[in-house]
Structure 1
Amino acid sequence: MIKQDVIVIGAGAAGLFCAAQAGQRGRSVTVLDHAKRIGGKILMSGGGRCNFTNMYASHENFLSDNPHFCKSALSRYTQWDFIGLVAEYGIAYHEKTLGQLFCDDSAKDILNMLLKECEKVNAKITTQCEILSIDKTSEGFILTTSKGQYQCESLVVASGGLSMPKLGASPYGYKIAEQFGLKVKPTRAGLVPFTLHEQDKNVLAELSGISLDARASCNNTSFNENILFTHRGLSGPAVLQISSFWHPGQAVEFDLYPNGDLHRELLAAQQSSPDSQLATALAKFYPKRYVQMVLPYLHIDNKPLKQYQGKQLEKIAEAFHQWQLKPNGTEGYRTAEVTLGGVDTDELSSKTMMAKNVEGLFFIGEVMDVTGWLGGYNFQWAWSSAWVAGQYV
């Protein structure tokens, strides 16, 4: 039997970072992972450049049934702390938009940094290791695995959520929580593209590849970013963001001219070019192919501007400012960037990440009911929650 102070289940962002933190305190640590290659989600995030944090990260950028839970960890290990570590390793990075920080070169830089941090403190990483059972003892835990038995004082569950099963995502962390009597909140895919009902899809699939500035709104929440038409439905940053707030059966409202007044623009065009077609006037603000497809879809006639009377132009502008769409669903965990829900934070200490009723059992990262917005926030939660647990395991 291999005896360690700490066993971490999951060699993703949170698991590796926690192992390094615990090792810095002189704890003996082993990380166990069922995959052959580790850090798959790190390597593919941000298009292979890893959006490793956000300069504006705060508790307001997270969804949870207990919105206060993440405050403590985020304030004790901040984005600036992690940026400092990245700088120590000489990793070049840049801000893309809205505080999102990406590696200049490759996401491998972040993974290699985490592996070096583990190496420095002699934290061992064992891959292709299947955990067969976990038993609680008076001294801690005994894990029976495909690579033998392990004994530890502290057990850290950093197994992630259900998103991207191709990269090895599984419900294992929730099963551990349930085994030890912790409540698990219902899970669903977050930061995920929408699929459409047949009648919408038949028209909008033709717009595949077109992207527009938009404000997406649902359940008193709005995001002002791009939307992208795809052959399956709708994607793009604004759609991914609002998907975490949307529930099946609800409509999403899109303002397709979010930074101006389309009615005023159309009135000005009517004054200056009364003989121009409506489609020609709209093509100043939208791609031509989009205008040609969308006018019949919105039941708007294309006529010379001078032929629109009274409130007709106002109504047309409204159709673009307040486009209501009822998604059929989402693409699900297959393409979702995160999992909403998970281990109930009421079961955990926000100071230590330890289960309140199970001495020595910790949960960090995406496995719990804390989900960040798109833009580096979920990585920051991985670093902050892992750092906090690393001080106590």
Structure 2
Amino acid sequence: MRRSSSRILTSHAGSLPRTDALVAANAARAAGEEVEGWEELLATEVRDLVARQREVGVDLVGDGEYGKAMTSPMDFGSWWSYIFQRTEGLSLDEGGAWVTDRHLSTPGDTRLTGFGSRRDQQAFREAYSSPTSGIFVGEPPVFPKVTGPLRYTGHAALAADIANLRAAADAVGTQDAFITSLAPGSASRIANEHYGDDVALLEAWADVMREEYVAVIEAGLILQIDDPSIAENYDQIEPEPAIEDYLAFTRLRVEALNHALRGLPSDRIRYHLCWGSWHGPHTTDLALRDIVGTVLTIDADAITYEAANVRHEHEYRVWDEVALPDGKMLLPGVVSHATNVVEHPELVAERIVRIAQRVGTENVVASTDCGLGGRVHSQIAWAKLRSLTEGAALASEALRR
């Protein structure tokens, strides 16, 4: 991955807004309809998207997760649910559970509960129940459950994603292009009726996901691991666990990920950490200082994380206490997916500068908190990316002084 040297480089966290044509085509395909010219449409959309990223000044471009189906303009889950269309051994769970209650052999015997049991939702039950609050949670969708041996079957879809991004990147003359892929720990958050325990389940998901990891790297692209679960699971454990117990729970997921990444070049891998993209209060989020040491043991040279999220923005001070290991770099989010307000470039620059002053300019690439696609309107998302690149230019000037 290219590092910032003469100026602060820019990127984003993955998902970008889909066009009306792409949303409509995905909805038709989800309904079982044949979409004539689907492959050509997807390739064209990715090509245009990459060109637009370069036009607004984004340096490290992605495919916007366009190959991960989104059937409506607002969709918080395609980054995760895409893998269920690419994996054998799953059946629909008519109970609708996101995850089942599960006991782990951790010191505190923690219990991971379902989406409807977030402690944040319990604390703000009236807000989450009100259709006028902006964070209303309706009936959960039906998720799959593991009912047989897991096996990766998404080779054709992945090959298309790779070919489309490779062609689009070549068209604008860049090698700095990335594709997102799910972490085993995040993939495993569904009901399990086949594997004997969580360790076996995580190992199976690690084997599944490794097929994507290897293919992306071998295609000469940058691999981004999407893994909100590492921080986000904390909000779904009842009762609130001791930090030591939660870290023991989390290390199993990190070990599974590192197993899946074994032998792959860490300088071609970036890891995305966040606290969940839903637009809620987030008062029960885990502090960055509590998880950062575990995150830094992941075999990825770059860490993307939320640094503009107003629940976590103050945590740039963590880098006063924690030394960034040699070879590691940060892609802090400096514009947010959780507000329609477009950040002023000067504020973006301030966010970049205070982190760069702590870890080194060459170790910072300015990014977004989380994916913008499905979280804010397309017009707002592109304005945020413009503000990102303008802010990066201002930061570059300030850091040269």
Interval of TM-score (by shorter of Structure 1 and Structure 2): under 0.3
Q: Which has the higher strand share?
A: 1
Q: Which has the higher helix share?
A: 2
Using the size of structure 1 for normalisation, the TM-score is 0.25
Using the size of structure 2 for normalisation, the TM-score is 0.24
Which protein has the larger Cα radius of gyration, Structure 1 or Structure 2? 1
